[in-house]
Chains A and B, each alone.
Chain A
Amino acid sequence: MRKKAISIHSSRGGTGKTMIATNLAAIYALKGLNVALLDLDFRSPSLVDVFSKGIREPVRHWLNDFLDGRCKAEQALTDASEAYGLKGKLLLGLANPAIEAIQNTMEKSRAWEVTAVKRLFSLHSALFGDMGIDCCIIDTSPGVQYTSINAVVSSDVSVVVATLDSLELKGLKNMLAELYDAFGKKTVVLINKVFPETRVWSSDKQKSVISKMEKVLKHPVIGVIPCYCDVLQAKRTSLLAVDKPFHPFLRNLEEVAEKLESINEANVEEDILCKAKS
């Protein structure tokens, strides 16, 4: 896999971003890749809860501290690979869930955001350089917010998770055109929580639905994941890729992971030009 930073974003909340980000990271780490998973959802941090089993020592430095310039990159990362028995490394960059930290994030100035985006780039360099990370997955906050935009700007590929809610699709279409194309980032759409009937769809039917979606959204749809009640009801602390490795949700996600590995982010401008011509 070519070293790349993948941001997981959505136009609205509740699309399953965190579930996809955590399991995608675990899938890669189980395959033997070295992965970093960053929680850039500073307003509603969740990775600290999801990985509570894997965090053995109290967290001294958060990702917030790194962006504030209070610690080095390696200090802000927690290694969770041993706790989950993963082949590759899994480094976690956790957002501070304390209310003061969330409030502090909300009061940041534009000057701070410029520094934050520069620090994110330096974090990627450190991860892909000395730390030997192959893939960095960034879980973001939904909608257009500074932290999520900073994550999109600093990543190589953006995965936009969406459900088939008509309102959400409208917002998503605007966001794709006005945000992702504007930054010239390779962007793919992942449809999640689709009605359960899709599980029994033939591959031809799936393909035709995906091609229709692509025409509407004008961006490639990388996968369609049906809704599984047990996934929705699973404990926040459960890492599905480790706890239930044969779950059909993971089969779908593994396909997505493979497609993401083969994405070439270098031809983004050509894609945008093609879209403009069409």
Chain B
Amino acid sequence: MWIRKSYILCIIVYTTIHFAVLNMGKAEQSTLKVERLLTKLVDELNLVNQKLGSLIELNEKMLKAQEEFLRVGSDRNHFATELKLEPDAMSLLSLPMSLRKTVMVLYKLEKATAEDLARETKRLRPVESAHANQLVRMGYLSKKREGREVYFYIESPMEMRK
């Protein structure tokens, strides 16, 4: 009976110890799991942080560009002057005859008002003005104001380049 009691007690103690050990293992395992989860969470947060940093940087750049656009907004030819095309004789062949004639006159005059162009091409001044402005928008010509006159010209920034 005592043996039986002792045996049962042993079993109980063993089971208790076993379960205690088992629980300890489980607790350790869950701690590890939590640690792993936390590490993963920190990593994810770092990634989110990095992406947010890039987004903020991009947003700042966009704001700067917007400010620049607003600053030069009044100058409608800003983008045309940025994107300059070389109006060489071969390129003229791809232009319509009406525009080609204006460029050819500017080869000769170097710099001209719409009126000067009209005198050479024997077309009306408003027609010539429209053609020259179209060429400015296309990036083939540039224009500048001198007093009351607006002059159209072919910009040669790489004049001395080979």
CB of A117 within 8 A of CB of B88, answer yes
Contact of A107 among B101, B108, B154, B162 (CB under 8 A): B162
The total number of A-B Cβ pairs within 8 Å is 68
A150 at the interface (CB under 8 A from B): yes
CB of B161 within 8 A of CB of A114, answer no
Contact of A149 among B90, B108, B157 (CB under 8 A): B90
Chain A nearest CB: distance from B84 CB in Å?
A: 9
Give the size category of A's interface with B: 20 to 34
Chain A nearest CB: distance from B20 CB in Å?
A: 87
Give the size category of B's interface with A: 20 to 34
Q: Which of B81-126 contact A (CB under 8 A)?
A: 86-93, 97, 100-101, 104, 107-108, 110
A165 at the interface (CB under 8 A from B): no
CB of B88 within 8 A of CB of A184, answer no
Set of chain A residues within 8 Å of B86, measured between Cβ atoms = 110-111, 113-114
Closest to B158 in A: A111
Set of chain B residues within 8 Å of A146, measured between Cβ atoms = 88-90
Closest to B159 in A: A115
CB of A114 within 8 A of CB of B90, answer no
Which B residues have a C-beta under 8 Å from some C-beta of A? 86-93, 97, 100-101, 104, 107-108, 110, 154, 156-162
A112 at the interface (CB under 8 A from B): yes
Chain B nearest CB: distance from A138 CB in Å?
A: 14
10 A-B pairs with the lowest CB-CB distances in the bound complex, closest first: A111-B158, A149-B89, A110-B86, A113-B88, A121-B108, A110-B88, A153-B89, A114-B88, A115-B159, A111-B86
A195 at the interface (CB under 8 A from B): no
Instruction: Give bound CA distance, A254 to B104, whole Å.
Output: 31
Instruction: Give bound CA distance, A68 to B157, whole Å.
Output: 15
Given A154-B107, A179-B93, A182-B97, 17 new contacts (CB under 8 A):
A69-B160, A110-B88, A111-B156, A111-B159, A112-B161, A113-B86, A113-B88, A114-B154, A114-B156, A115-B159, A118-B110, A118-B156, A121-B107, A146-B90, A152-B89, A153-B107, A183-B104
